A and B are shown apart, each in its own frame.
Chain A
Amino acid sequence: MNPETNSDQSQSWHRANRQKIAPQKIAPWLFLAPALLFFAVYVILPIFQSLWISLYAWDGIGARQWVGSGNYVELFDDYRFYTALKNNIIWLVLYMLAVPAGLFVALFLNQNIWGMRFYKSMFFFPFVISQVVVGLIFTWFYNPNFGIIGQVWQFFGATPPSILGDERFVTYGIIFAGLWPQIAYCMILYLTGLNNVSSDQIEAGRLDGAKGWRMLRYVILPQLWPATFLAIVVTVIGALRSFDMIAIMTQGGPYGSSNVLSYFMFEQALSEYGFRMGYGSAIAVILFLIMLIFISYFLWVMYQDEKRG
């Protein structure tokens, strides 16, 4: 063999090796750069800016005025904040009903009769529609004068309740409307989960004499845990983000009784009578901290998964 070509080869091998290491260090950052830039500008930085703005009094047009913890002191003394917080908790608790309800519908529909595919997609339908439309549908549905509720009550000769005009019912009325698409969402998660339940284990369970409820509890549900986890995640987020429905159906009314933090923040910072950007930001920070508890838990679960996988 020609020694010259040999050394040539070895040199080119060295070069290739060097080139190979360098790109593998830089490449991921090049691939990440555009997404990171976008995400940093529009998501990460604004979180810190909001924290900062919440320490100022600012009407969005004039100069900012440093108030330190002033906005938070005022917030913790504001009865509207507690109304919104209370409603947020009701939302979180009742919205969770979407998870078992979704499971129930999924179990009900997990059959193979003719046309089942069609039925399943129709049951999923409400999730695809915008919440604005869902809100309008239910506003009309609940109307005591000409809505379905009004008609049903009048049929029985009773005075229909004014669901969206009565502080006792209004939050529940909106949550009920919100559950409609959310149950559909949870249902589809469980249908997919059920599709993948191992039939061996069901058979094994049957041999052990497990049936019905016991089968569900000890054999099926553990296997459905990933679906359940996802359903809980999306439902918690959905409950804390509830904005569209409230904006469309009541604007937080009557007299602020159906307000939640997300809408309260908007009302203070940007509505017709609002423009307290600093105060609004303080509300947003509190909402963010509440969400952060859940986010941390979700990330922790995902992290455990990553370690295993």
Chain B
Amino acid sequence: MFPTPIEKRHHNRQLAYKVVVPMALLLWLLPLIAIFMTSIRSAADINTGNMFGWPSEFQMAQNYIDVFRNSEAATYFLNSVKITIPTVIISVALACLAGYALAIYRFRAALPLFFIFVAGNFVPFQILMVPVRDLSVQTGLYDTVTGLVLFHAAFQTGFCTLFMRNFIKALPFDLIESARIEGIGEFKIFWYVVLPLVRPAIAALSVLIFTFVWNDFFWATVLTQGEASKPITAGIRALNGQFVSQWHLVSAASLMAAVPPVAMFFLMQKHFIAGLTLGAVK
């Protein structure tokens, strides 16, 4: 292990380390702690400038309820769910199929196609913006949840395919060979032999794509306009306009928007990190 495990160090140094780590964490999360403290203050504190002293009263429930009661936050939240879940399902499903094709079959187009998926995943959003928006307007998908789902699913397919292809490639090829010798059809091999083996990859991708799409702001801005389809990220910006100077409400709304991906991360930590760091080790 590197650096040298602290247990092997002098006792004083161990103690110092154990004190420094929580302090460093506190400093690291200071912005977050500060905004949390703001979200539980009363409007009176904000108006009188009591931003950092002890709150005159704790209004956590009150503020969070106010956000929902006085704004469209609930609708935004629901839209985010309606956008995120189908996107995860579609993009992961497409990537399972495509990743399987690119990993298992040897054909000349395999590598170029794979690189196209990889490269597409890296392009700046701006080069897609005008045509994608135009396409959405023309097909009536502009300002709809479906429009966002279709775009996100298509775009995330690039990353998912990269991930799946590498994952399947690492599986023992013998399994597939022997299934073929048994005369099992291609789709059945995929369904009964490969799919059960890639479950960890599916889990990892699902949490990652959930987080990416939930946190998307750019496409929400470009492809939606109204309350009916706006997800929470774009919604927060609207709320920020509505609750100007009411920082206790803005911060409460912001923190709430962060809850689903954070919960996802803590619940599925192993898969999340496995997904994010695929390729970080050989």
Taken together as a complex, chains A and B put the C-alpha atoms of A281 and B130 apart, in Å, by: 7
Q: Which of A101-149 contact B (CB under 8 A)?
A: 107-113, 119, 121-126, 128-133, 136-138, 140-141, 146-148
CB of A16 to closest CB in B, whole Å:
6
Tell me whether B132 and A46 are in contact (CB under 8 A).
Answer: yes
Tell whether, in the assembled complex, residue B161 and residue A110 are in contact, meaning their CB atoms are under 8 Å apart.
Answer: no
- Given A107-B3, A196-B281, answer yes or no on A32-B218 (Cβ-Cβ < 8 Å): no
- B273 an interface residue at 8 Å Cβ cutoff? yes
Whether B101 lies near A215 (C-beta < 8 A) is no
Other CB < 8 Å A-B pairs besides A215-B2, A230-B277, 19 of them? A25-B107, A27-B186, A27-B187, A35-B98, A36-B98, A38-B150, A46-B131, A50-B131, A130-B233, A131-B217, A132-B233, A136-B236, A137-B34, A137-B254, A146-B49, A199-B1, A243-B218, A294-B122, A295-B122
Contact: A27 with B101, CB < 8 Å?
Answer: yes
Known contacts A111-B6, A227-B281, A243-B125; decide if A132 and B131 are in contact (CB<8 Å). Answer: no
Q: A248 within 8 Å of B by Cβ?
A: yes
- Determine whether A99 belongs to the interface, using a CB cutoff of 8 Å to chain B: no
Contact of B124 among A44, A192, A288, A302 (CB under 8 A): A288
* Chain B contacts for A44, CB-based, 8 A: 116, 120
Nearest chain B CB to A135 CB, angstrom units: 9
- The chain B residue with its CB closest to the CB of A270 is B222
Asked if residues B281 and A16 are in contact (CB atoms below 8 Å), the reply is no
Contacts of B237 in A (CB 8 A): 132, 247-248
Nearest-Cβ distance from residue A122 to partner chain B, whole angstroms: 6
- In the assembled complex, how far is the CB of residue B268 from the closest CB belonging to chain A, in whole angstroms? 11
* B126 x A287 contact (CB < 8 A): yes
CB distance from B146 to the nearest CB of A (A): 13
A contact set with B: CB distance below 8 Å:
16, 20, 23-25, 27-29, 31-32, 34-36, 38-39, 41-47, 49-50, 53, 107-113, 119, 121-126, 128-133, 136-138, 140-141, 146-148, 151, 180, 185, 188-190, 192-197, 199, 202, 215-216, 219-220, 226-227, 230, 237, 240-241, 243-244, 247-248, 261-262, 265-266, 269-270, 277, 280-281, 283-285, 287-288, 291, 294-295, 298-299, 302-303, 306
A138→B257 CA distance, assembly (Å):
16
Does B280 belong to the interface (CB within 8 Å)? yes
Distance, CA A199 to CA B1, complexed state (A): 6
Q: Interface residues of A: mostly helix, strand, loop or mixed? A: helix
8 Å CB interface, B85-128 against A = 94-95, 97-98, 100-102, 104-105, 107, 110-111, 113, 115-120, 122-128
Chain B hits for A261, CB < 8 A: 126
B54 within 8 A of A: no
User: Which single member of B21, B118, B217 contacts A247 (CB below 8 Å)?
Assistant: B217
Do A140 and B258 contact each other (CB < 8 Å), given the known contacts A27-B105, A288-B123? no
